[in-house]
Amino acid sequence: MNSLAKSWISISADSDFSIQNIPFGIIKHLKTQHISVSTRIGDTIVDLSVLADLGAFSSIKGFDKSTLTNLYLNDFIALGKTVTSAVRLEIIELFKESNKDINQKYTASFLQLKDVENLLPVKVGDYTDFYSSIDHATNIGTMIRDPKNALMPNWKYIPVGYHGRGSSICVSGHTFHRPKGQQKPADSEFPTFGPSKLLDFELETAYIVGKSTTLGESISTEKADDYIFGMVLFNDWSARDIQTWEYIPLGPFLSKNFASTISAWVVTLDALEPFRTKGYTQEPKVFPYLEYRGNKNIDIKLEVAIMPENSSETVICNSNYKYMYWTMEQQLAHHTINGCNVNIGDMMGSGTISGPEPHEYGSMMELSWKGTKPLKLNDGSERKFINDHDTVILRGYCQNENIRVGFGECKAKVLPAN
Ligand code: MN
């Protein structure tokens, strides 16, 4: 593909949805309730089922039009990367500037943002969350344990993770009620029960598994990219007070499964490939099954904003996916080294992505240093954690001198406890 290709669809220079992106999502037409696999180019939604009806994709071997009117992307993803990558490349061809005159009939597939609603793109089967940012793990270990031994002894050997819950994963734009639960304040002998007082976000990305394995099979770091369909932004909402009381010895439970937010468009690994960058030098040396070759980190600029009700937003964090210590390929190799099988639609969270500088910390826990350093918002109010009626917005994009590929927003609003 010519990375300088322009589109005949109008796209603003700062749009995440350039002609080089072509992410996949599920939209509902508000007027007709029709549901379809779609993409977004600039501010134009393109209904892939209409493109197919007009004759697109018919020369792609293995393509199946019936997958484009499903409620989730899973069956489309199951066609395999040779098909889905070819679909993406054909869309780029259809809408690149030089093909404007011959492809006018495809404007029948166009919809405006106001006429559609984005639905959850993937039916998530199993969901795993890792803990792979070294700055985040160091900050948390420093705060809650011991600054001299901030990282647990296993941390540089194992991409640490826990099994999360798929049922409460929601698409950007949703609201949820502040969770209630047990907490044990430090100054109290007994636990208390009530709404969480320490509600936090976690700035993460997640990848969607695009190819299944059978029980007993392992995925090598070398083959891992074949099993990763694409990525989304991910807010792993966390109730710190509930978490502190419940997490020993088996890890987070009710502190993280009340709601999790993902962005609506799955950006393919193909689209992210030009932004690959070098990973951490890993010392001590990792076990052979975790070794990998080449540039496997990705330069994805990330930010978090808080928007109080009836107010403007304040950006409180700028981080980058390139700060990950463990790569997606290592996570997947580790996840399956024992023979654990993965399925199409499984979701793997990165873990909170913090950078080395204080403005790069990916959670309120770190930004406010456990509530000891409140953040000032543009409207003059202060935050140690997230208040009722606050909207938290994650954004992420890759940019080089020629192209921009981004995720749009991953946004949710907190309502008072029920
Ligand atoms: Mn997390």
Q: Give the domain ranges of the chain.
A: 25-119, 127-415
Which pLDDT value is given to residue 268? 98
Pair of tokens at residue 114: 């106001």
Residue-by-residue DSSP string for 211-222: S---TT----TT
Ligand 1: distance of its center to the CA of 255 in Å? 11
Residue type, 227: Y
Ligand 1: distance of its center to the CA of 252 in Å? 9
Marked catalytic residue, from 29, 34, 136, 177: 136
334 is catalytic: no
Helix (H) / strand (E) element for 335: namely helix 328-336
b/e per residue, 173-204, with b = 16+ CB within 10 A?
A: beebebbbbebeeeeeeeeeeebbbbbbbbbb
Positive or negative CA dihedral for 395, 225, 171, 384?
negative
State pLDDT tens for residues 81-140. Answer: 999 999 999 999 999 999 999 999 999 999 999 999 999 999 999 999 999 999 999 999
Pair of tokens at residue 103: 């492809």
Helix (H) / strand (E) element for 16: namely none
Which pLDDT value is given to residue 31? 97
Cβ atoms of 66 and 74 closer than 8 Å: no
Residue type, 417: A
Which pLDDT value is given to residue 3? 60
Ligand 1: distance of its center to the CA of 159 in Å? 13
Q: How far apart are CA 180 and CA 140, in angstroms?
A: 23
Which pLDDT value is given to residue 5? 84
Ligand 1: distance of its center to the CA of 181 in Å? 19
Q: Which CATH superfamily is domain 25-119 in?
A: Fumarylacetoacetase, N-terminal domain (2.30.30.230)
Ligand 1: distance of its center to the CA of 338 in Å? 23
Q: How far apart are CA 378 and CA 366, in angstroms?
A: 20
Nearest partner of 386 among 263, 304, 264, judged by Cα = 304
Q: How far apart are CA 343 and CA 212, in angstroms?
A: 4
State pLDDT tens for residues 382-411. Answer: 999 999 999 999 999 999 999 999 999 999
Ligand 1: distance of its center to the CA of 62 in Å? 37
Nearest partner of 396 among 323, 320, 327, judged by Cα = 320
Ligand 1: distance of its center to the CA of 215 in Å? 26
pLDDT below 70 — which residues of the chain?
Answer: 1-3
At 25 the three-state DSSP class reads: strand
Residue-by-residue DSSP string for 234-293: EE--EEHHHHHHH-TTT--STTTSS-EEE-SSBEEHHHHGGGEE-----SSPPPGGG---
Ligand 1: distance of its center to the CA of 87 in Å? 33
- Who contacts 187 (Cβ-Cβ below 8 Å, separation ≥6)? none
Residue type, 168: S
Which pLDDT value is given to residue 414? 98
Q: Which CATH number is 127-415 given?
A: 3.90.850.10
Ligand 1: distance of its center to the CA of 75 in Å? 27
Cβ atoms of 362 and 289 closer than 8 Å: no
Nearest partner of 233 among 125, 388, 362, judged by Cα = 362
Ligand 1: distance of its center to the CA of 352 in Å? 5
Report how far apart, in Å, the C-alpha atoms of 103 and of each of 1, 9, 100, 241 are.
18, 11, 6, 56
Residue-by-residue DSSP string for 70-123: SSSSHHHHTT-HHHHHHHHHHHHHHHBGGGTGGGGGGGGGEEEGGGEEEEPSS-
